[in-house]
Structure 1
Amino acid sequence: MAKILNLARLERKLRRLPKLVVDNIRSEMEAVADDIVAMMKNLVPVESGALRESIGWTWGKAPKGSMVLATAKASLGADLTITIYAGNDEAYWARWVEFGTAPHINKGLYAGSQNPGTRAQPFFYVSWRANKKPAKRAIRKATRNAARAVAAGK
């Protein structure tokens, strides 16, 4: 039978690991979300500025009426659900700007007139695709650094 030296010290380090990992991942997820949101705000076409101001991120669910880019979840015993979004009840046209609209016949006030549609002006998913790999890398690095810090006794 083998005897494990410093077992109590090892157990203390292992108990400390989840909190440190969660804290590191949370701060890294916030930094990555800030980068993605900044890129989206730089790419979005601006008329009134309402759509640009509606772009953001939050922990948990996005505001009502928004277009959700990504919801990242981690299961480390803590709720690490971050949501990046664009649009809201006032700036509801985020989808139309991102994907464009097809030509169609108008209804309502201008019933019967031809609408030529709009071309897509992507700002939303291109920002995510450009930042997805660096985001995953940054979160993996945060996890590794937390484990190393605990192992080093810091």
Structure 2
Amino acid sequence: MSDLMKQSAKLSARLNAIPNEVVQHLRPALIAAAENTAGVMRALVPVDDGDLRDSIEVTPPGAVTPAYAAGGGKRVAGENQALVTAGNPDVRHGHLQEFGTVDHAAQPFLRPAERLTRDQNRRRIGRAVGQVIRKAGV
């Protein structure tokens, strides 16, 4: 019976270690997925002088997003998040491009980029999770 308890404790320790391993192994896939989405956003954004396109940035897990408003507007990405932001204190019109105004037709680039990259990004992240679980031998 004690052998079974030892095996159970060993399995429990391995299962508890998986979340940390998954998060560590997942980071490159999360960043690659965010870069993929950001690249499509940059390709779709209407370019007048390029300031909005140049303001699109990827924030890796655990890092702080760039300030996107005059008083700060920063956010810390979670350990299992990579964030894509558009805008900075000088470029604050991304939402106006995306949704339009009374005088300006909408020229969406944020939501279409997410829709175009969603499946590929899910597959990329799913492969990364599968790889780390297989590597852990569970």
Q: By the TM > 0.5 criterion, same fold? A: yes
SS at match of 1:57: strand
| Residue 4 of structure 1, CA deviation | 3.4
Counterpart amino acid of residue 50 in structure 1: D
Taking a change above 3 Å as real, the CA distance of residues 72 and 137 of structure 1, as seen in their structure-2 partners, is farther
> In structure 1, what is the Cα distance between the partners aligned to 2:111 and 2:77?
15
Tell me, yes or no, if the aligned pair for 2:64 and 2:77 is still in contact at 8 Å.
Answer: no
Structure 2 unaligned residues grouped into runs of 5+: 70-75
> In structure 2, what is the Cα distance between the partners aligned to 1:64 and 1:11?
42
Name the TM-score, length of structure 1 as normaliser. Answer: 0.70
Match of 1:96 in 2: 96
Higher percent of residues as helix: 2
Of residues 128-137 and 118-127 in structure 1, the stretch that sits farther from structure 2 once superposed is 128-137
Higher percent of residues as strand: 1
| Residue 12 of structure 1, CA deviation | 6.3
Match of 2:125 in 1: 139
Match 1:148 to one of 109, 134, 137: 134
> In structure 1, what is the Cα distance between the partners aligned to 2:110 and 2:41?
6
Structure 1 unaligned residues grouped into runs of 5+: 74-78, 103-116
Counterparts of 1:1-154 in structure 2, within 5 Å, are: 1=1, 3-4=3-4, 7=7, 10=11, 13-14=14-15, 16-59=17-60, 60-65=63-68, 79-102=79-102, 117-151=103-137
Tell me, yes or no, if the aligned pair for 2:55 and 2:88 is still in contact at 8 Å.
Answer: yes
Counterpart amino acid of residue 64 in structure 1: A
> In structure 2, what is the Cα distance between the partners aligned to 1:2 and 1:130?
54
C-alpha offsets along residues 91-134 of structure 1, whole Å, 9 cap, x if unaligned? 111111111111xxxxxxxxxxxxxx111111111101122232
Name the TM-score, length of structure 2 as normaliser. Answer: 0.77
Counterpart amino acid of residue 133 in structure 1: D
**Aligned pairs, how many?**
129
Larger Rg: 1
Counterpart amino acid of residue 35 in structure 1: N
SS at match of 1:148: helix
SS at match of 1:120: coil
